[in-house]
Amino acid sequence: MRASVVVSTLLSTVLLAATPANANTQGTINLSLNVTNACVINGANTVQTNAGVLGSIAFPDQAGIFGDVDGELVGPQGALSVLCSPGLSPVLTIGAGQQDGSTRRNLRANGRDVAYRLFSDAQRTSEIAIGGVINLAPSASATSVPIFARVNSGGQVLPAGTYTDTVTVTLSW
């Protein structure tokens, strides 16, 4: 009997010694992310198909007849702001307004129009035609795009009212 206890103990010891006490193995996890070029307007944190209202140009109140009156686009961050993936050369197209004729921009109230013009410079010498583009240089930071406006009653006395227009802006890259 003694021999079987010794053999049994020896066998247990040999079996335990043959199995490593601490074993490990390693593997990997593959990750990937495909990033495409993108641009955003006015600090948005995602690309939008419709960026909504980008800002407004509110001319100061005027009497019925007036000379040149200037305004400037004011948005959530002041001027319009565009941020694109590095290396992109974005293009802003300043389209037609809802009240525009084929060659002139109009504000309208009560069926009456008054022409206005948009410009890319504060001196109002570089007019942005209907469908005109503003080419932006590649930049790693947001680019400020000021847009200026000028209205003039053209010597006509306008009826009182709130004259409005809405212009479509398209960002392409």
pTM reported for the whole predicted model = 0.80
Domains by residue range for the chain, with CATH: 39-172 (2.60.40.1090)
Q: What pLDDT digit, counting tens, does each position of 98-142 carry?
A: 998 888 999 999 999 999 999 999 999 999 999 999 999 999 899
Question: What span, in angstroms and rounded, lies between the C-alpha atoms of 150 and 71?
Answer: 6
Task: Supply φ then ψ for residue 133, to 5 degrees.
Answer: -120, 150
Which pLDDT score, from 0 to 100, does residue 20 have? 61
Helix (H) or strand (E) holding 25: none
| pLDDT of 5 over the 80 cut | no
**What digits encode the pLDDT tens for the residues 45-102?**
888 888 889 999 999 999 999 999 999 999 887 889 999 999 999 999 999 999 988 8
User: Sign of the CA dihedral 35, 39, 42, 44?
Assistant: negative
Lowest mean pLDDT among 8-12, 27-31, 32-36: 8-12
Whole-number pLDDT of residue 11: 46
pLDDT band at residue 38, thresholds of 50, 70 and 90?
Answer: very high
